Structure 1
């Protein structure tokens, strides 16, 4: 492990320098990694593992869109692509990457095939942390751990192909074999992580659910919508409102923040922008702080978990979801965004 300092706080992380890909291959040389589910995280992790020389099979519902996608990605039915239960039998490390609702549904089948010495791998702490809701309680004679990439499976794959790494957290919940830690770190390296930082299942799911509902998706969309609406109400065109709200942020500013930090951005903008940002950011923090505190409480008490399970288990969930997504997609703001994106130079 390497010791790094984050704002003066020392933290132990694993990098690809001290835990090399060659070592990861050695640790995993006798394993069959079964990717159960080929939806959000499955493709990126499976393809990166395969490209890094790890033995990988995919378990997926036959004749589904994800089954067809796995075939398109080069997995071969009967050789490296199987129905879920067959993959569970063959795998020594079971990567349980189905949706949270599907994990509950398939858990009895999964548990049946978790024989002694196998490993159960997650990329999300939901099923274990909220096991009173999910019923997911692993046998005591298997390793249980997670690697959670800090981004989508699409980003994980894209950055891998660019010879970059997406940072990931990892956690060891149960070490039945005495090899749990080296197995999970090897997997974290082999899926293409930039570096790995240690957490536990509760902290992973708490931070993840807060992040998804907060600055990663929910809060940022809310801020976008509020600013866009104010600009439009005051006579600004859709193009101007979208560019000032979203396009400049995502295309110009955020890449620079990613490269250099927000402090650099503040130091390298106009004095007018600098003064305004310094005057207003604490006001936005103070307004949002109680909301984030309420969100964190909702997550840690299990209220969010129960809401997710209740909603996703309803028979008409997909229909209602599509209606909500359609309303978002057809809103003026995101229709304006579609037009703005089409006018980018790379699209012409």
Structure 2
């Protein structure tokens, strides 16, 4: 991964803790248990594709291995779908429209982009080959009325306002496709429901749209390169919904497709991007950067030992070897191992506190309401910039001067792994299946998002994502910064040893076996961010 990133980024312009914390940490140490999961997770099947069962810790899950060798089966799997309408041109729209079009080339299935008449996105769609003249570009509701599969990829706030009209304009027998469970969460808040006798499916790529397109293009000569996806069937009106969803995922270039539910996906996705994927890592870097400067480091070294450490050696190690291998493989000296353990046990409790709160706010619908409210304010109050602090100003200089070498800071590594594990444990406690936990807490971070921050900084990473993710990151990053500053840093400054019980829980955690399985399914091509 780093070799491809380095070559591109160089060219870019310029435990012992306080007594109260110990008890809290031990309270959060997750006991051995069997993860609850939807019984359909290992029973679903396909009439077209050969699915496989893979071990996930003490259980197993059924997945579909994708690849370009499956493209000849797409017409059969899509069934009677002759026109796919991709509605929207935000984070996912451009990637999904182009990937679907390229994968279905030579078939009788047409991919048409639907946008608001007069939208500035019309020109962007035309620039990549969609046009009104050849019937592949049109007004959004015209496209919805004509499509057999409607991939509704407009912003979440827009979905909340437009869904009644979308439902009204679906033609009889059409399948409604979503790439996020946000609408289901909103319908739960309002007491509404999807139209009866309509297939409702979801295919959710485990990466931002730019990654979905970039890896698809990089993998054109490598079978199985791309971004993994999860799929869900919320309603199956005609018995064809599963295969349509799988065809959609394969056509996007997903190397592996995992089962989930729409309810589970919106909770894990909205939650994850506010935590380790975006908001959490941003707040962590700001906190540790200030600490290291206060401890006497130069600002340049402080950035190298926070952001550069995370997006460089930590990302590469976790991506290719697993989370536990940061301690076993990346951290070399006995002294650094002690520092890693202390940082891990000092930061797990505070991290777990904040991620539990975040999950609850997502699950009860508060974060969904927050996104909709913010959408109503956008015209008057645009989102703030997030890379104007000293941290990111220094970071731009450091990236411009890179020489290919990176520093492994054991404290940064310990805090990062603790926050990642706190998110993992919260999701497992709430009954999410292993594949979803791994994808939403680990794989999306190291294989899709961190490379964007590595290339151009935190704003490039966050603002390549959906509006929902961008809003959530801005809201929760300061909370992570604050809780780490208030509860983690004072413990790190004390001359006490680590909480051995909590650290043993980390070393023996079942997620490591899961990540080993996921590693065997890892795409063979690392993303190169341009």
Tell me the TM-score normalised to structure 1 length. Answer: 0.92
> Which of 266, 289, 301 is the equivalent residue of 2:352?
289
Contact 2:201 2:245 in 1 (8 A): yes
Q: Deviations over 1:28-87 (max 9, x none)?
A: 374211000011011111111111015211011233332221111111124211111121
Residue number in structure 1 paired with 2:77: 27
Match of 1:57 in 2: 112
Within 5 Å, which residues of 2 pair with 1:1-348?
1-16=51-66, 20-28=70-78, 30-53=81-104, 55-78=110-133, 79-133=135-189, 137-163=193-219, 164-268=225-329, 269-271=331-333, 272-314=335-377, 317-322=378-383, 324-325=384-385, 328-344=386-402
Sort the Cα spacing of 1:339 and 1:112 in 2 relative to 1 into closer, same or farther, 3 A: same
Structure 1 residues 50 and 345 mapped into 2: Cα distance closer, same or farther (>3 Å)? farther
Write the distance in 1 (CA, Å) between the matches of 2:239 and 2:336.
55
User: How far apart, in 2, do the equivalents of 1:63 and 1:76 lie?
Assistant: 14
Q: Bigger CA drift: 208-217 or 289-298?
A: 289-298
Once residues 248 and 159 of structure 1 are traced to their aligned partners in structure 2, the CA distance between those partners, rounded to angstroms, is: 24
> Is the 2:187–2:193 Cα contact (8 Å) retained in structure 1?
yes
Shift of 1:318: 4.4
Cα distance between partner residues in 1 of 2:400 and 2:114: 37
Bigger drift between 98-107 and 212-221 goes to 98-107
Q: How many residues align?
A: 342
Contact 1:115 1:142 in 2 (8 A): no
1:136 Cα deviation after fit: 6.0
Given the superposition, is the C-alpha separation of residues 136 and 229 from structure 1 closer, same or farther in structure 2, using an over 3 Å criterion?
A: farther
Give the Å deviation of 1:202. Answer: 0.9
| Structure 2 length-normalised TM | 0.61
Please tell me whether the aligned partners of residues 107 and 136 of structure 1 are also in contact (alpha carbons under 8 angstroms): no
CA offset at residue 205 of structure 1?
0.4
1:134 Cα offset (Å): 5.8
1:311 to 1:17, Cα distance in 2 relative to 1, 3 A: closer
Which 10-residue stretch deviates more, 91-100 or 6-15?
6-15
Distance 2:355 2:388 in 1: 28
Query: Cα RMSD over matched residues?
Result: 2.1
Q: Deviations over 1:119-172 (max 9, x none)?
A: 000011011232044676322121001011111011111111121121111110
Shift of 1:213: 0.8
Q: Which deviates further from its counterpart, 84-93 or 108-117?
A: 108-117
Distance 1:161 1:84, change over 3 A: same
Q: In structure 2, the residue corresponding to 1:162 is in which secondary structure?
A: helix
**Cα shift at 1:195:** 0.8
**Paired residue secondary structure (2:112):** strand
The residue matched to 1:130 in structure 2 has which SS?
A: helix
C-alpha separation between the residues in 2 aligned to 1:150 and 1:58? Answer: 22
- Residue segments in structure 2 that go unaligned for 5+ positions in a row: 1-50, 220-224, 405-454, 456-530
User: CA 1:39 to 1:136, structure 2 compared with 1: closer, same or farther past 3 Å?
Assistant: farther
Gaps of 5+ in 1: none
Q: CA distance change for structure 1 residues 19 and 115 in 2, over 3 Å: closer, same or farther?
A: farther
Aligned to 2:228, what secondary structure does the other structure show? Answer: strand
CA shift digits 1:212-271 (9 cap, x unpaired): 111101111111110011122333222111111111221233123201112233222312
Q: 1:337 to 1:123 in 2, by over 3 A?
A: same
